[in-house]
Chains A and B, each alone.
Chain A
Amino acid sequence: MKETKYKVEVDSLTKYFGSLHVLDNISFQVRNGEFICVVGPTGCGKTTFLNLLTRIYQPTRGDLYIDGQSANPKKHNIAFVFQEPSSIPWMTVEKNLRFGMEIKKLPKAEIDGRVERIIKLLGLQDFRDSYPHQLSVSSEQRIIIGRAFAMNPDLLLMDEPYGQMDVKLRFYLEDEVIRLWQELGSTVVFITHNIEEAVYLAQRILIMSNKPTTIKEEVSVDLPRPRDVADPRFIEIRKHVTDQIKWW
């Protein structure tokens, strides 16, 4: 155990698949309660990067630390929001929200309390006994996001959760995520290829390069919330990030 002021530390993470060099020496830190967006071109190894964070893959070199300890899914609480809607069709909204906590065998009173809070925050009171297929796509995605936040995760990973949604829904759900994050103080790493989305959400943006992937630049976004996409400073940051992705 090492002394640290960071919640999450990624230390020279490197991954080879055979001779294919996918990730090269990625290092960054996340403070407790911080919201970070990772942007990069398609095929830049985002998925591999995430799978390393969730420990589905082991890194070739380097490591990931949570609270100064090597990340361990048995001990640490890492929640994940998948790209595709991943609500569980045979469970009602409420059961979906309880699901992760029940797997972790949390005490019932604790689960009840957290679920009530999330249901209220997401405005899902009327739908608690509905099944996911009876809801709209946006409500379904809200369940998944609620399920992840309900875990009180040490680290919440989101993998392009709004990739398939239209503009209006995306704005709506982005605000929702910000609200949950501010309310619950989780630490979030949000992966996206949508630069505007990254500038809208993040406190800090990590720009990834092409393979072998490394972190090209860190951009901190200190705009006040709620952010205005037409604000000249917003546009300036967005342009800067875009240029960084365009020019290798």
Chain B
Amino acid sequence: MKETPVLSSAEKKELRLKRIYLLLPLLSLALLFLLWILAATGTNKDSFPSPLAVWERFLLIMKRPVKDYTIFGHVLQSLRRIFSTLVVAWITGISFGVLTGWNRKADALLSPLFTAFRSVPPLAWIPLITIWFGTGEGSQMLIVYTGCIASIVVNTQAGLKNVAKMYLDVGTVFNASSRQMLFQIAIPSALDAVFAGVRTSTSAAWMVVLAAEMLGGKSGVGFLIVRGMDSLDLPLVLMSMIFIGVVGAMLAVLTQIVEGVLCPWTRKKSA
């Protein structure tokens, strides 16, 4: 005979709550969809495309690409753009962050410069960059760079400034050289902070790349949105927006997974 577990009323309540918490996010998604349908009916029909219209637009762009690319092609173009920039930003940003976070003289000399640069929002660079370098691939990457460099530098810097004294003491006791202190103690202990920087810089890059592509780009989701706006193709605009949101969320999850693989000790105890 199967044993039926006896649950106290508190346990039952907990179980019920658990189910509710699983359900609520789905409910909110359904609500969003419902709102969308409502917004797209009646007099709004022309200015707010319905889910069906967006779906049809999606099928159309898969059949008839815009400027040689389907929607996935444009997403890939944008991704290529941000990742080739991010690699450069990570290398330069982490080096700069380590230098200024670890060496107090370098910090005193270089950090004010960096702070001055950082207090200008990245988008404010667009006019100058466009005038100097045009709207080509290089300028777009430069704009993305200005948008994502700050978060990686700031996080790396903070990580190296806040190395727990305990670990440094361990190094001192074993008589580690200053080189060993940096590479075997300080940098590894700052890795989770560096990864926080990698995560935020990735999402920042994904935001800024849209702005860069909107200005005379020839490909990418930012370009696609502007194309939709120019030709009053609202389903195209909305579809691009949805793709931007989904890809952004996927990037966040992806960077988290990569962090878990590269720094297993940052995973929670329960894992």
Binding site for B on A (CB under 8 A): 54, 56, 73-74, 78-80, 82, 84, 86, 88-90, 99-100, 102-104, 131-134, 151
Are B265 and A90 in contact, CB atoms less than 8 angstroms apart? yes
In the assembled complex, the Cα of A78 lies from the Cα of B174 at a distance in Å of 8
User: Is there contact, CB below 8 Å, between B176 and A103?
Assistant: yes
For residue B124, CB closer than 8 A to chain A, the reply is no
B184 within 8 A of A: yes
What are 14 A-B residue pairs whose CB atoms fall within 8 Å in the complex? A54-B172, A54-B173, A56-B172, A74-B175, A82-B166, A84-B166, A86-B169, A90-B188, A102-B184, A103-B176, A104-B175, A131-B264, A131-B265, A134-B269
A90 touches B180 (CB 8 A): no
**Residue contact B174 to A100, C-beta cutoff 8 Å:** yes
Residues of A within 8 A of B263 (CB): 90
> By the criterion CB–CB under 8 Å, are B269 and A88 in contact?
no
Number of interface residues of B (CB under 8 A): 20
A52 to B257, CA, bound (A): 46
Q: A103-B184, A131-B265, A134-B269 are in contact. Are A88 and B167 (CB under 8 A)?
A: yes
| Residues of chain B within 8 A of A56, CB atoms compared | 172
B175 touches A73 (CB 8 A): yes
The 5 A-B pairs of least Cβ separation, nearest first, read A80-B173, A103-B174, A100-B174, A90-B188, A131-B265
Set of chain A residues within 8 Å of B173, measured between Cβ atoms: 54, 78-80
User: Which B residue's beta carbon lies closest to that of A56?
Assistant: B172
Residue numbers in B under 8 Å from A84 (CB-CB): 166
Please name all residues of chain B whose beta carbon is closer than 8 Å to the beta carbon of A133 when the two chains form the complex.
265, 269
Given contacts A90-B265, A133-B269, A134-B269, contact A103 B169 (CB under 8 A): no
B184 CB, nearest partner CB in chain A, Å: 7
Assess whether B171 is in contact with A103, with CB atoms less than 8 Å apart.
yes
Besides A86-B166, A88-B167, A90-B265, 8 more A-B contacts (Cβ < 8 Å) are A82-B166, A82-B169, A86-B170, A99-B174, A103-B171, A104-B174, A131-B264, A134-B269
